[in-house]
Structure formats: C-alpha cells, structure tokens
Amino acid sequence: MILAIDVGNTNTVLGIYEGKKLLDYWRIGTEVHKTSDEYGMIINQLFNYSNYRLYDISQVVISSVVPTVMYTLEHMARKFFKCEPIVVGPGTKTGINIKYDNPKEVGADRIVNAVAAYELYGGPLVIVDFGTATTFCAISKYGEYLGGAISPGIQISMDALFQKTAKLPKVELVKPETVICKNTVNSIQAGIVYGYVGQVDYIVKRMKKEIGADNTKVVATGGLAKLIASESETIQIVNGLLTLEGLRIIYEKNK
C-alpha cells in the first residue's frame, strides 16, 4: 500500500492506495509549526481509527505548495514509515511537458492535477481547482501543460469582505435560490457563489478559445467544486480526489 499526501495552504489530504484502488482518505489542517513526530502521531491515530497500521505502508508520495512543511513530512516518512518518500518536484517523472516560462514556478498541485486529469480523461483539458486560491490550468491534447490563471479562492474573498467592511457579517457559504435577494446574508451568498460561477465560466471559455479545440474537457476539483459546478455552464466533470489520483499515478511512474 502507498500513502499519498497532498499538502495545501489550508488543508492536507491523505489517501491510502492499494494498487489503483483508493481504500480511505482523510483531511487535516496544514500547520507549519507541527513537528514530524506530531504529524506522525496524527496519521497513526487516523490509521488506528480506520484499522490500518503504519507497517501496511510501503511507500509515501508527497506534493506540497507549502515549502516550510516539506522537511517535516519527509522526516516523518523516514521515521514512521521507514521509506524514502517520493516528492513531486524537479526531476520527478510526470509525463507532462511544462510549457511555462519557468517550469519551476508551477505549483506541485497543478502538475499533479494535470497528470491525473490527462491520464483519466485525455486532452485537451481545462482543470479548475477550488483551493485556497482558485487555479485554472490548460492541457493540450498531447499532454503539454500550456499555462493557466490564478485568482483568490472563494474563502479568501469571503474573509476579505468580512474583514474590510464595518457592517457586513460573516456568512455560511451556501447557494441562495435567487440572485435578487431580500436580506444581507443571502445577498452576500449570491454575490460570492454566482459571482464565482461567472468568473469560472468566462475564464474557461477564454481558455478553450485559446486552446482552439471544441472537444476540450473541463474538470473541477477541490472542496467547493460541487457547489460551483452545480451552476456552471462549462464544468463537465467533478473529481474531488483528483490530486490524490495524480500522486498515485506519479508513484507508478517513479517507483
């Protein structure tokens, strides 16, 4: 079995694979001040709760957009799982040709998503990842990473609205039935949710036009993918575990 670890700015997702089958997964908060022992004990507790054991894991594969936790997690893998982890970065075999001006600038999560989406759905593709930031990635029919766009995430926008206004309250992120709302809470919810739907659809349509292929598939992932996809005109596929799948595939290419 392998343990896949996807470290995001807000959350870290862990998944156990046996071959191509995802057996279980968990989501924990990303905390840069935690030690390797603390991360190891958290994972051990999750394993025990789900009737897994640390010695069940033969390999660990990690992608991270938080550089300050990488040493911690690598040390944790060596100590608790007795293996040298595969870390997605320069030199890792992905099968994706990155056409960025500086390929090292592309976040590991975006590369891993591209690997998974191209393997699962073929190209050309647009991938929308609703994380702390919302990222849009364009993949050619040949599996080339063409580039993309980055915007503030939905939660960041909501937090900024609450922090920078004197009278607007912090609200739950749900979709109201109408855009013309009759109270402040629903008005904020409508502006955030439907505003993001409009942003996503416009950027995706521009990307599809620049790719120049009518058969471009649009895949969404991330915690809020289902919420936006339910109203989007362009999102065709929702895969909330796309990054874990990409880590599994990268493990297969590098084992």
Q: How far apart (Å, rounded) are the C-alpha atoms in residues 95 and 231?
A: 33
Beta bridge partners of 15: 4, 25
Backbone angles phi, psi at 123, to 5 degrees: -120, 170
Contact 177, 166 (CB under 8 A): no
CA nearest 184: which of 202, 171, 196? 171
Lookup result for tokens 């935690």 = 34
CA count, 13 A, side-chain hemisphere, 16: 17
Alpha helices in the chain (DSSP H): 36-49, 70-81, 108-121, 154-164, 184-211, 225-229, 242-254
Annotated catalytic, 37?
A: no
Angle at which helices 36-49 and 70-81 cross, to 10°: 60
Identified catalytic residue from 109, 129, 159, 214: 109
| 3 Cβ contact list (under 8 Å, min separation 6) | 14, 15, 16, 43, 57, 59, 60, 61, 81
Residues designated catalytic: 109
